Amino acid sequence: MAREISLFEAIRTQRAIRRFRADPVSDEAITRVLEAAIRAPSPGNRQSWYFLVVRDPETKRRIGEYYWQATLEAQREPGYAQIASSPVYRSADDLARRIGEVPVMVLACVEVRGGAAGPPGRGPITLGAAIYPAVQNLMLAARGLGLGTCLTTRHRRFEREVKELLGIPDHVETAALIPLGYPAEGEHFGGSRRRPTTEVAFYERWGRKKASA
């Protein structure tokens, strides 16, 4: 059992984990991260989210095939070659080759029928407000238990096929595929580089820095 850590330590040390040990993830751990997910805020408190946990090897393999095909399509797009050599994209492509072998996949889904995720006509960014806070809660809870995750959406190139495979109804969309497991040897939490708040935070008006005390 991983030691308990504070919320701020989890936030500070969370990072994308893309290589996992084969060790199984317990039902208790999965329940805890899902319980954290559903504590997130949602527009109008509609809670139009669903979480589909996949551990069956054959199902994961088939999702992995769609994911790899989506990766091959992405690699053929203009501009991909210029970014493919970056460590992040190399790591993402490495995950794509093996994602069907991860211990657990969690599909974070959101209901869209009848504007359940928000008023119609507001666009996908508003729809995201109905699910991505819950995804972040799930990922922070996983970090608190010593479990690695990352947020992926590449499978959405084959949204129709993935939904058919998993029996997801038409009025529900998949918003993220989250691999979940214990980090493999060589993977670690923490150390992710971020731009400082002094570069990205303004006060009262765009471009205005915080006045010195």
Count: domains in the chain: 1
Kindly report which listed range (73-87, 91-105, 114-128, 197-211) carries the lowest average pLDDT score. Answer: 114-128
Concatenated DSSP letters for 115-180? GTTS-TTS-HHHHHTTTHHHHHHHHHHHHHTT-EE--B-GGGGGHHHHHHHHT--TTEEEEEEEEE
The pLDDT of residue 124 is 65
The pLDDT of residue 88 is 80
Higher per-residue pLDDT: 60 or 86: 60
pLDDT digits (tens, 9 = 90+) for 54-73: 999 999 999 999 999 999 99
In a domain, 208, yes or no: no
Q: Are 206 and 131 in contact (CB under 8 A)?
A: no
In a domain, 21, yes or no: yes
Its domain, for residue 94, covers 7-200
The CATH number for 29's domain is: 3.40.109.10
In a domain, 211, yes or no: no
Strand order across the 104-111 sheet: 49-54, 104-111, 172-181, 148-149
Longest dimension (CA), the chain: 60
In a domain, 184, yes or no: yes
In a domain, 210, yes or no: no
Residue percentage of the chain with pLDDT more than 70: 90
Query: Residues 1-21: what's their mean pLDDT?
Result: 89
Residue 208 tokens, joined: 């205005």
b or e along 56-72 (b: 16 or more beta carbons within 10 Å of the residue's beta carbon)?
A: eeeebebbbebbbbbbe
In a domain, 20, yes or no: yes
Residue type, 135: V
- For residue 99, what is the DSSP state? G
Q: What share of the chain is helix, strand, coil (3-state, %, to 5)?
A: 45, 15, 40
Query: Angle at the Cα of 118 (from 115 to 124), degrees rounded to 5?
Result: 100
Query: Residues 37-47: what's their mean pLDDT?
Result: 95
Helical pair 87-98 and 57-75, crossing angle rounded to 10 deg = 140
CA distance 91 to 141: 23
The pLDDT of residue 127 is 82
State yes or no: pLDDT of 171 exceeds 90: yes
In a domain, 49, yes or no: yes
State yes or no: pLDDT of 78 exceeds 60: yes
Instruction: Name the pTM for this structure.
Output: 0.89
In a domain, 115, yes or no: yes
The alpha carbon of residue 212 and the mean position of all alpha carbons in its chain are separated, in whole angstroms, by: 37
Length of the chain: 213
Higher per-residue pLDDT: 115 or 181: 181
Residue 49 tokens, joined: 């989210």
Name the pLDDT band for 93 (thresholds 50, 70, 90).
Answer: confident
Nearby residues of 135 by Cβ (< 8 Å), 6 or more positions away: 37, 108, 151, 175, 176, 178
State yes or no: pLDDT of 96 exceeds 70: yes
The pLDDT of residue 172 is 95
The pLDDT of residue 144 is 96
Query: Residues 179-201: what's their mean pLDDT?
Result: 93
pLDDT digits (tens, 9 = 90+) for 108-165: 999 986 544 444 444 567 789 999 999 999 999 999 999 999 999 999 999 999 999 9
